[in-house]
Amino acid sequence: MKRLLINVGILAALSLNTVSVLATTGVAQKTKAKTAAAKTVIGYISDSSCGLSHMAGMDEKDCTLMCVKKGKFVLADRDQKLVYQLDRVGQERAREF
């Protein structure tokens, strides 16, 4: 009887955990859908170390490729003075340039 109660308790805990995860995932997806509005940004491929400016006397592409080894690719909008982080797909696409 004690073993049955333990098994039922574990099953109930797992069921509640699954419902909680599904509910949280649904909320996250709805929130992400609201904030993922299309936006066009024009900028330069850079790296997270240099951001808006690169080393003096070095080609921007060479500097980016050297520095990205210790960081990630970013999109640098020099006019607005903003640096945008790129997601996994953005990281792959940035490497093509």
Domain boundaries, the chain: 1-37, 44-96
DSSP string for residues in the chain: -HHHHHHHHHHHHHHHHHHHHHHHHHHHHHHHHHH--------EEEETTTTT---TTS-HHHHHHHHGGGS-EEEEETTTTEEEE--HHHHHHHHH-
Residue that wins the pLDDT comparison between 69 and 41: 69
Overall average pLDDT of the 56-74 stretch: 90
Residue that wins the pLDDT comparison between 24 and 75: 75
> Where does the pLDDT of residue 27 fall: very low under 50, low under 70, confident under 90, or very high at 90 and above?
very low
pLDDT surpasses 60 at 79: yes
- Whole-prediction pTM value? 0.56
